[in-house]
A and B are shown apart, each in its own frame.
Chain A
Amino acid sequence: EDQVTQSPEALRLQEGESSSLNCSYTVSGLRGLFWYRQDPGKGPEFLFTLYSAGEEKEKERLKATLTKKESFLHITAPKPEDSATYLCAVQGFSGGYNKLIFGAGTRLAVHP
């Protein structure tokens, strides 16, 4: 059964304090791994897609990396506006294109 586990559940950082969020997954053949950002009271917003181990994607202060068992979302010198819940999702070959398995998310709070 495809599964996604995110850690930590919550993370508090000071502005400028870099850190990483973890997404561990088990899937029967990975089609893609996706990162989303969700602000309170809003729908998730797509950030990145990773397809194969070793791949990296960057956007502003965020960099996503992928291995065969996990993905990391690195946040460099975060700002308060980076505060949000970050969701990871996987798409496996057995589930088909249309079935994403989401993790429960990591709530990030960045304080000035």
Chain B
Amino acid sequence: DAGITQSPRHKVTETGTPVTLRCHQTENHRYMYWYRQDPGHGLRLIHYSYGVKDTDKGEVSDGYSVSRSKTEDFLLTLESATSSQTSVYFCAMGSGGTGNTGELFFGEGSRLTVL
């Protein structure tokens, strides 16, 4: 009963290939987020969604796109992976009453290595 799951948990790919990471939630939360975590940088927001088909950019959105066709699923796509996108990616959902607070519930992370 994790509430939020990410897949795949680990992936190794080659430069130039497309990659899609999936986030699935069972809590019916409106707000969902994709972050990346790199040593020395902390968590940085890539994109977020405030409803089905409603998304917006975060601070490091270049090279990434997202889609949300259903409340429960939020997909992060790297159209053409680069080595600088090697990172750990975390999905999160808003846990507050309206979901739009800083009290987030995170998934377990997806470790992506781009060779």
Chain A interface residues (CB < 8 Å from chain B) = 4, 31-32, 34, 41-46, 49, 87, 89, 91, 97-100, 102-105
Contact = CB atoms under 8 A, between A and B. Distances in A.
Given A98-B31, A98-B48, A98-B50, A46 B41 contact: no
Interface of B: 31, 33, 40-45, 48, 50, 56, 58-59, 90, 92, 95, 100-109
A24 B44 CA distance: 18
Contacts of A32: 101-102
Contacts of B40: 104
Nearest to B33: A98
Given A46-B105, A98-B100, 17 more contacts: A34-B102, A41-B109, A42-B108, A43-B107, A43-B109, A46-B95, A46-B103, A91-B101, A91-B102, A97-B100, A97-B101, A98-B48, A99-B58, A102-B43, A104-B40, A104-B41, A105-B42
Contacts of B107: 43
B92 A102 contact: no
Q: Give the interface SS of chain A, mostly helix, strand, loop or mixed.
A: strand
A89 B111 CA distance: 22
Contact of B103 (A41, A49, A87, A105): A49
A98 B56 contact: yes
A89 B108 contact: no
Contacts of A49: 101-103
